[in-house]
Amino acid sequence: MSGYLNVKYNMSELNYEHVFNVLVDKTAEYVTSNNLKVMVLGISGGIDSTVVAAICHEVSKKTGIPLIGRSLPIKNNSDAFDGSKLVGEAFCDEFKVFNLSSSYKSVLFDLCADTGLIKDCKGYDWYWVSDLEELAGRTPIANGNIQARCRMIHLYDIASIRKGLVMSTDNQTEYQLGFWTIHGDVGDFGPIQDLWKTEVYGLANYLQDHYKSKALEALRNDYRETCDNYKAMSCAIYNSCKLVPTDGLGISNSDLDQIGAKDYATVDDILSRFIPFENFRKSYDSAGQIMHPHDEMAESDCWSQLCARHGEDVVNKVWSRHLASEFKRKKAPIYISRELYE
């Protein structure tokens, strides 16, 4: 048993040049075979949307299908906003910033009225957004999900009118932990959904060096404009790597805070040992009943090894988050399997 449970995804030996080429080729194959006219991407300035923007940029060069980027701030911090502009201007064929704060307030007001949280005769203009968010019964998760769905309404409308699809920016770590919103921040096609978060950083580091070397090559050949373009791409990726990933819900300062992990390497180490076991094995107790993976793993060498390495509290929190989000994973988008590049 313990030998099987120690099987993990190969995170340290990926050839990121190969990974990038496969993701570009398979994304290009999908959009062309479905006769799509544009790729639409919501850009936060974080590492996931930046890496997907880089992939789609190469797809656009290969197929002629343009990448339409939108930064859709709703109470966003300035660092993320500045980062989204760097990414959009570096990688997109068309990029705009459109503030959705008024849309968010309008939807939030209507929902509060519908559920009876607004019981007086005061109208829409009387309330601040913070007043509505703090009404009894509202939670940061509920408010954050509305924001994600407002953005997706905007992106899907563009895709519908221009006969395209919305690109998804989730990675495997977020997917397994449920750090995403159903009908919210998940699109039609996920190029990086089978990459763990640590691997997304690995791919970003490769791309930063790749575009930097392209810039130097262009400079040596006196192609100034090409050099500036590649420098902008490298800088956009560098900036995205510095930003702290957050859930966008205002629950904590970072995703990691919610599970008490020190870094994504810890989370990915735990999940990558859980998932193969959960997906491919069914074990039975002495009464012939299927055992829950948690029950069997708690008795295994793998569980004790993970607890010794990362702490039992962190292991339990990661596993609990994974279990609680199972219903979400039944609604996942199409994505590129890692079997194609491992």
**CB-based burial label for 3 (10 Å; 0-12, 13-18, 19+):** exposed
In the predicted model, what is the mean pLDDT of residues 318-324?
A: 86
pLDDT (0 to 100) of residue 182: 85
Q: What is the pLDDT of residues 277-313, one digit of tens each?
A: 554 344 444 454 544 555 556 556 777 888 889 998 9
More confident residue, 63 or 251: 63
pLDDT (0 to 100) of residue 328: 84
Q: State the Cα–Cα distance between residues 91 and 141, nearest whole angstrom.
A: 31
What one-letter code names the amino acid at 297? M
Residue 41 has pLDDT above 50, yes or no: yes
Q: State the Cα–Cα distance between residues 297 and 143, nearest whole angstrom.
A: 36
pLDDT (0 to 100) of residue 287: 53
This prediction has a pTM of: 0.88
Residue 94 has pLDDT above 60, yes or no: yes
Q: State the Cα–Cα distance between residues 69 and 45, nearest whole angstrom.
A: 11
In the predicted model, what is the mean pLDDT of residues 200-221?
A: 95
Tokens of 6: 């120690």
Helices (H), the chain: 2-5, 16-33, 47-63, 78-91, 101-114, 129-133, 140-161, 172-177, 197-220, 224-242, 255-259, 264-280, 293-298, 301-310, 312-324, 326-329
Domains, the chain, ranges and CATH?
2-265+321-340 (3.40.50.620)
Residue 82 has pLDDT above 60, yes or no: yes
Q: State the Cα–Cα distance between residues 72 and 155, nearest whole angstrom.
A: 9
In the predicted model, what is the mean pLDDT of residues 238-242?
A: 92
- With cut-offs at 50, 70 and 90, classify the pLDDT of residue 13: confident
Q: What is the pLDDT of residues 268-281, one digit of tens each?
A: 999 988 776 554 34
